[in-house]
Amino acid sequence: MLQYERFETIMNKLQKQSSVRVSDLSRELGVSESTIRRDISDLDKAGRLKKVFGGAVPKTDDTDFAGRSVNAVSRNVEEKARIQVDEKSEVAMRAASLIEDGDLVYIDAGTTTGCMIDHISCQGATFVTNGARHAIRLARRGFKVYLLSGRLKAKTEAVIGPGAVDSLHKYHFSKCFIGTDGVDRESGLTTADIEESMVKTKAIELSQDVFILADSSKFGLVASVTFAPLDAGAIITDRLPDEAYRRQARVVELHR
């Protein structure tokens, strides 16, 4: 087994497990503990994880108040992209079809909104986004693209924080497309990161038409921070698990 493969295996495990042990890795990968220690040291030096006594934990780019690992709940971009692919893609396709020539569109960072990019058919829209990779992909497709300024969060590749909110002020969007971690009748629309939530809230405020992208798995979930009430915009979903949501929000349901 190549050193590089071990590196990737360790990092993959850390995305799901929130911690790994030297002894376990040594057994599972069939190499000595010395080697695992070296690997972990190298990955730590490279800034890809945090070495702790007995093993390693994922490196969170914004330090949790206790300095503890919070990765068990919030996975990173690639991981998230893998799950619920079909549903995400359907929702995204529908959302993309709403974009028209002349629109000034805000596209939120995130995997679901990212799916939209390949499905945008009209050519005359202008885009603003806080997703660094989204911006690159949009620009490649030939669109006029503006990026927000501010700190780049490694895990979600999103520009966040007060700087990002500031640089939003001058825009007046005709449409905005926002992803969400949770949709709940009591808590409304929620997301895991407070700084990301600030950006979402501001973008919604500045937009004429608001669209929330939420595949069916998001309903009933509540993340750390509420960024908008349920009726902040139209919720686009593949399947609505509970008709009760209709009383509180405008819902676009793809499968009946």
The amino acid sitting at 109 is: A
Cβ at position 52, least distance to DNA in Å: 7
Cβ at position 19, least distance to a second copy in Å: 6
The residues that bridge with 2 in the sheet, in sequence order, are: none
Q: Which of 13, 37, 133, 239: binder of DNA (CB under 7 A)?
A: 37
Q: Which of 15, 18, 35, 126: binder of DNA (CB under 7 A)?
A: 35
Is residue 92 within 8 A of residue 115, CB to CB? The reply is: yes
The H or E element spanning position 130 is: none
Side-chain-side CA neighbours of residue 232 (13 Å): 30
Show the binding pattern over residues 60-89: x = contacts DNA (CB under 7 A), - = does not.
---------------x--------------
Cβ at position 89, least distance to DNA in Å: 13
| Distance (Å, whole) CA 230 – CA 242 | 14
Instruction: Assess 12 for contact with a second copy (CB under 8 A).
Output: no
Is residue 221 within 8 A of residue 179, CB to CB? The reply is: no
Q: Which of 8, 12, 28, 41: binder of DNA (CB under 7 A)?
A: 41
Handedness of CA 73, 79, 85, 90 (dihedral sign): positive
Could you tell me the maximum CA-CA distance found in the chain, to the nearest angstrom? 61
Q: Which residues bind a second copy (CB under 8 A)?
A: 2-5, 8, 18-19, 21, 45-48, 52-55, 57, 59, 61, 123, 132-133, 135-136, 138-154, 157, 159, 163, 167
Q: Which residues bind DNA (CB under 7 A)?
A: 1-3, 6, 21-23, 30-35, 37-38, 41, 51-55, 75
